[in-house]
Amino acid sequence: MLKGIFISLEGVDGSGKTSLKEELLGHLAVFDPLSLREPGGTPISEKIRNLLLDTSNEDMQARTEAFLYASARCQLVETVIRPALQQGKMVIADRYIDSTLAYQGFGRGLPLDFLEQLNQLSTGGLRPDLTLLLDLDPTEGARRRAQDAPDRLEKAGLLFQNRVRQGYLQIARQEPQRICVIDAHQPLEMVVKNALQEIQQLLTKRGWYHPRA
């Protein structure tokens, strides 16, 4: 087992992952966590991110999309995440393997077993110790993001986002020991409190001591 601790954040667009991550980075500063976002986090992965989110790439095929996310992730895992975990660091990732199942699987309709295999190949089987899933009605997510210009995935619409949400909940039911569902309709401070409770449990289990807990 790798020495570090790997936490991923998941949820539909506008579910507040980024705000939660900022809060967690503050609360967990004593551990000097490494903060990442997907797709991205390495020069190659950031270039792939631009391709993926570019609204002019309207004809991108679902499998092309899946392979590009997998390529960006492969580069990030091999050059950043695995080395950090080997050194015993805490890694907090905004999105990881469950995004592929939820978006390309439940959202785009690609077969889940193909995507499971793709995730396995692109990560060498590296799974988070804990995944915090922020569950939110996509209508509320869209309301919260109203001022931002939508990227290619966000333009896929509410029906798509609803399938993604339901997909996430199904994935969480299948892996309750890893994935913790947090109600993201709550005020951010409650979301943060719930998240910190889960993280504290993991830290205790792994024998990490939090001076402020």
The footprint of ligand TYD (CB under 6 A) covers 13, 17-18, 37-39, 53, 69, 94-95, 99-100, 103-104, 151, 153-154
Cis amide linkage into residue 33, ω under 30° from 0: no
| 53 vs 208, beta carbon nearer ligand TYD | 53
Strand order in the sheet with 5-11: 34-37, 90-94, 5-11, 130-135, 179-183
**Non-local CB neighbours of 110 within 8 Å, separated by 6+ positions:** 62, 63, 66, 104
Q: Between residues 153 and 184, which has the closer beta carbon with respect to ligand TYD?
A: 153
Q: State the minimum distance, in angstroms, from the CB of residue 116 to ligand TYD.
A: 13
Closest to ligand TYD by CB, 99 vs 194, is 99
**Backbone phi, psi, residue 155, to 5°:** -75, -10
CB of 80 to ligand TYD, least distance (A): 14
Q: Is 42 within 8 Å of 84 (Cβ atoms)?
A: no
Indicate the residue among 8 and 203 with the shorter CB distance to ligand TYD. 8
CA distance 153 to 43: 21
Distance of closest approach, residue 13 Cβ to ligand TYD, in angstroms? 4
CB of 101 to ligand TYD, least distance (A): 8
Query: CA angle, 126 as apex, 121 and 127 as ends, to 5°?
Result: 120
CB of 41 to ligand TYD, least distance (A): 10
Non-local CB neighbours of 63 within 8 Å, separated by 6+ positions: 110
Which is nearer to ligand TYD, 100 or 131 (by Cβ)?
A: 100
